[in-house]
Amino acid sequence: MKYKTLNKAMAVGILAISSSFAMAIPTFSFTESAGFEFDDVPIASYENQINGVTTPAQDVYDTMTWYDNPNSTLRSSLLLTSFTGAVAIDTWTTISRLTHFNNPIPSNPLHGWDAPQDIFGRLRILDGVSVRVDDTDPIQITLEETLNVAPCVIANPTGSPLPCDDRFTFTAIGLAPLNFTALDGSLWTASFTLANFVNSAFNGIDTVYTAESQVSSLDVQMMLTERPSSVPEPATLGILGLGLLGLGLAKRRKQNA
């Protein structure tokens, strides 16, 4: 009988401790707003535009197009698509997509871009209706349009038939992880990666290659993971104390028997 009393008390303690981890997981969603900036416009103007402030307002564009020369009908373009939706924990979720409509334009490298271009993006992560992350980051992107004359002077990982891939280089600050706190006080990290390459390839650092005469695309994805707290929450400590109290009472009963 004494053994059963001790065993029951241990069960109560374990059940009490386990219940402290049965807390509801936050429900996250996101909105991503991104576009190409117009040259020489201050970043603050784009922040106003995307935040819904009308003065001063500057346009951001979902498509950027370039030509061999101003009179040419042959063009290439980049389409930037942003998404909004729910976020499943520990699962990669696509937040934006970059599509390159690539035509073989015979000209010098950087023919259509006389300077690097800027992409302005705003990511918001919500816990229910509470905004937990509101992050704005400009990303600078540069194009090298190859001459399509063998041998290729740069890497050709997609195997373009003309024969050379074009390539984009970008600043990787937009892929840096973000740490934030949920409404219930739990700690989280938003990680980012490039994925779902179609007629394109990534060097793992800062360069994307796209196949000539093809429609290429890639996705920017986000994953939310919970970070452990170094200090137990007060509620956890309290319930743990109740469990230990149960074990203490059982030990006392055994000694008094």
The secondary structure of 185-234 as a DSSP string is S-EEEEEEEEEEEESEEE-SSSEEEE-TTSEEEEEEEEEEEEEPPSS--H
Cα separation values, 202 from 21, 155, 167, Å? 40, 11, 10
Look at residue 192 and tell me whether its pLDDT is greater than 90: yes
Give the pLDDT of residue 227.
Answer: 93
**How confident is the model over 201-251, as pLDDT tens digits?**
999 888 999 999 999 999 999 999 999 976 555 544 444 444 444 444 444
Query: What is the C-alpha separation between 6 and 246, in angstroms, rounded?
Result: 9
Q: Locate 1 and state its tokens.
A: 């009988």
Give the pLDDT of residue 45.
Answer: 46
Give the pLDDT of residue 176.
Answer: 86
Residue 85 phi/psi, 5-degree rounding, is 170, -170
Look at residue 114 and tell me whether its pLDDT is greater than 70: no
Model-level pTM?
0.73
Look at residue 55 and tell me whether its pLDDT is greater than 50: no
